[in-house]
């Protein structure tokens, strides 16, 4: 006579417990991965802001004018006729703002993707402080930024978690600037959620 081996299986309760543990572990991995991606995006965006500010400063040091505002003749090759009309007054008007990128790239101070972002909704420009306020079009005062700030890096539709990272890197971490004007300001108020969007103005230096 042959003996049958006893067959043992898992109960539904045991399977449910195992599946619950696996779900918790997977959830932790996903959340941890998202946090790492978010931190990476913050560092990359702060680095991009620093690179644009640096490129503008290098341009000013080399040519004694701001990009866009430079009444360029033949000093920078490959500049279109439309971008040879800066008035050199030290303030980047809305018309001159459209030429900032071209001047930086033509002067070999910026790569063509410098003003591009992973977050496609962000529109990046360099413009005077008053021009930024006018472009926003809301009821906002230019006194959100310090009196010695004349031109800014304007980033429209910036997710709040990126805006906060920039403010912490280049100013005091207070986007509203209620207590005092700063070098970084949100032109449309506070952030109630990390994925709210603001118009962010950052002093060039």
Q: Is residue 4 part of a domain?
A: no
pLDDT of residue 3: 55
Tell me the pLDDT band of 143, cut-offs 50, 70 and 90: confident
Q: Global pTM?
A: 0.81
Overall domain count for the chain: 1
Tell me the pLDDT band of 15, cut-offs 50, 70 and 90: confident
144 burial level (CB within 10 Å; 0-12, 13-18, 19+): buried
Considering only the C-alpha atoms of the chain, give the largest distance between any 2 of them, rounded to a whole number of Å: 106
Q: Is residue 1 part of a domain?
A: no
Tell me the pLDDT band of 83, cut-offs 50, 70 and 90: very high
Q: Is residue 8 part of a domain?
A: no
Share of the chain above pLDDT 70, in %: 89
Q: In what order do the strands lie in the sheet with 123-128?
A: 123-128, 151-159, 197-203, 184-186
Q: Which domain holds residue 78?
A: 13-203
How confident is the model over 21-60, as pLDDT tens digits? 887 777 666 556 678 889 999 999 999 999 999 999 999 9
Q: Is residue 183 part of a domain?
A: yes
For residue 158, pLDDT over 80 is answered with yes
Q: Is residue 146 part of a domain?
A: yes
Q: Is residue 156 part of a domain?
A: yes
Mean pLDDT computed over 105-114: 93
Q: Is residue 102 part of a domain?
A: yes
Q: Is residue 6 part of a domain?
A: no
How confident is the model over 124-140, as pLDDT tens digits? 999 999 999 888 887 67
């Amino acid at each position: 006579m042959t003996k049958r081996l006893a067959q043992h299986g898992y109960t539904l309760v045991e399977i449910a417990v195992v599946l619950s543990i696996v779900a918790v572990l997977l959830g932790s991995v996903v959340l941890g991965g998202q946090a790492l991606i978010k931190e990476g995006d913050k560092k990359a965006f702060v680095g991009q802001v620093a690179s644009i500010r640096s490129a503008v400063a290098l341009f000013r040091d080399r040519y004694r004018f701001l990009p866009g505002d430079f009444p360029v003749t033949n000093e920078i090759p490959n500049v279109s006729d439309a971008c040879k009309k800066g008035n050199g007054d030290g303030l980047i008007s809305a018309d001159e703002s459209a030429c900032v990128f071209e001047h930086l790239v033509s002067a070999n101070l910026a790569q063509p993707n410098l003003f591009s972002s992973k977050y496609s909704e962000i529109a990046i420009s360099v413009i005077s402080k008053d021009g930024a306020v006018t472009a926003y079009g809301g009821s906002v005062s230019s006194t959100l930024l310090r009196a010695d700030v004349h031109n800014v890096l304007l980033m429209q539709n910036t997710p709040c978690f990126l805006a906060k990272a920039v403010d912490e890197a280049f100013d005091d971490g207070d986007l509203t600037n209620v207590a005092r004007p700063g070098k970084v300001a949100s032109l449309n108020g506070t952030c109630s959620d990390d994925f709210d969007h603001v118009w962010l103005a950052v002093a060039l230096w």
